[in-house]
Amino acid sequence: MPGPATGSPARPGRPPRPGRGDAARRGGAAPYLFLLPAVLLFTLFFAVPICYTAYLATRRIKVSGLGLGRGSRREVSAGLDNFATALADGELWAGWLRVLGYGALVLAAMLGLAVLFALLLDSATVRLARFSRIAIYLPYAVPGVAATLMWGFLYLPSLSPLRGLLDADLLGPGTVTFSMANIAVWGGVGFNMLVLYTALRAVPGELYEAARLDGGGEVRIALRIKLPLLMPAIILTTVFSIIATIQVFAEPTALRPLTNTIGSTWSPLMKVYRDAFVTGDLYSAAATSIVIAAISLVLSFGFLRVVRDRAFGEG
């Protein structure tokens, strides 16, 4: 008789589970696949234009002879000459002075109103809060050019119902900056208010209840609790507002056909547009745009540095 089987027959079982290394490799690749569209868009529409602008800023056209024959106009290296020309341009710095005055008006009014509206809407005694939020935010949804044209027709002396009330030319040399600042404030308060109001809604309600039990009124709670807690959001909206103010372009460009008090280089970006698309000097425009970007970075990070140093000193 045959002896007993030395081994049991193989039983069907589950397939071997993949090792942790395989799972880790698959899991490690998934985030990069999700990030790939954003990386491609960033590269194509942000990184590549910046690199191309930097390249153009270091080039110039060299004309030989009368500039009429083939090959008489060649693109050659300009080094840093375009940057030196941009920094020595008085029109650029005059535009910066106008934008700084405009920005002082816009930042003070827009952020002050945004903080005030956010505190009012977060008050325990507010009524019609949802309607008020929509009404304050709605101007931000209006495109900047459309809003500027709408306000521009309200500013025109022959059409404006405000001319009789204010007895002033709202597009005159002494008032046009205030008129443009009004457009920016009207359109920007709603966005900043929503950011600040969202930050307030994230504060635990127990803090307010404890303050009310201690006898604190709404004004005292707003000044002693809400404002300190709002400081990070206020700093964030201030940085965004500084960058947006430096890049002012739509308002003066759209108002320019309605008045002769706004020149083609009223703001730095308007000068870049004129140099690139009116006079055709792409190389000077590229250098000027990089100078504007550098100044924007200095102002933004300078503000953050001042705020950080102040907070650290107070801490």
46-73 pLDDT per residue, tens: 999 999 999 999 998 877 766 566 666 7
How far is it, in rounded angstroms, from Cα 254 to Cα 152? Answer: 8
What's the whole-number mean pLDDT along residues 132-138?
91
Taking all residues of the chain, what is their mean pLDDT, rounded to a whole number? Answer: 85
The tens digit of pLDDT for each residue in 273-282 reads: 999 999 989 9
Q: How confident is the model at residue 18 (pLDDT cuts 50, 70, 90)?
A: low
Q: Tell me: pLDDT of 270 over 80.
A: yes
pLDDT at 44: 95
pLDDT of residue 26: 55
Residue 71 is predicted with a pLDDT of 63
Instruction: Please give the structure tokens belonging to residue 100.
Output: 């700084």
The mean pLDDT of 95-106, rounded to a whole number, is 95
Extents of the domains making up the chain: 49-63+72-88+281-315, 100-277
Better-scored residue on pLDDT, 274 or 314: 274
The pLDDT, as a whole number, for residue 28 is: 72
Residues contacting residue 92 through CB under 8 Å, at least 6 positions apart: 86, 265, 268, 271, 288, 291
Beta bridge partners of residue 76, listed in sequence order: 60
Does residue 298 register a pLDDT over 80?
yes
pLDDT for the residue numbered 295: 93
**Contact predicate 176/261, CB 8 Å:** yes
Integer-rounded Cα radius of gyration of the chain: 30
Distance of alpha carbon 275 from alpha carbon 263, whole angstroms: 13
**Residue 70 backbone class (left: φ over 0; alpha: ψ -120 to 50; beta: rest):** beta
Please state, in angstroms and rounded to a whole number, the distance separating the CA atoms of residues 225 and 243. 29
Is the full-model pTM beyond 0.85? no
Long-range contacts of 260-264 (CB under 8 A, 24+ apart): 261/171, 261/172, 261/173, 261/176, 262/176
pLDDT for 218 equals 81
Over residues 237-255, the mean pLDDT reads 93
Mention every residue, 6+ apart, whose C-beta is less than 8 A from residue 183.
147, 148, 151, 251
With 70 as the cut, is the pLDDT of residue 199 above it?
yes
Task: Give the phi and the psi of residue 263 in degrees, each rounded to 5.
Answer: -85, 175
Query: Among 73-82, 102-111, 288-297, whose mean pLDDT is lowest?
Result: 73-82
Do 267 and 181 contact (CB within 8 A), yes or no? no
At residue 206 the predicted structure's pLDDT band, cuts being 50, 70 and 90, is confident
Least confident of 17-21, 107-111, 157-161: 17-21
Cross-strand pairs, 139:
none
d(CA 292, CA 86): 10
Residue range 224-244: average pLDDT? 91
Question: What is the average per-residue pLDDT within 87-113?
Answer: 95
Q: What percent of the chain has pLDDT over 70?
A: 86
- Rounded mean pLDDT, 230-245: 92
Looking at residue 49, its pLDDT comes to 94
Question: 28 or 262: which carries more pLDDT confidence?
Answer: 262
Summarize the confidence of residues 131-160 as an average pLDDT: 89
Cite the beta strand spans of 17-102 per DSSP E: 59-63, 73-77
Mean pLDDT score, 159-184? 84
100-277: CATH architecture: Orthogonal Bundle (1.10)
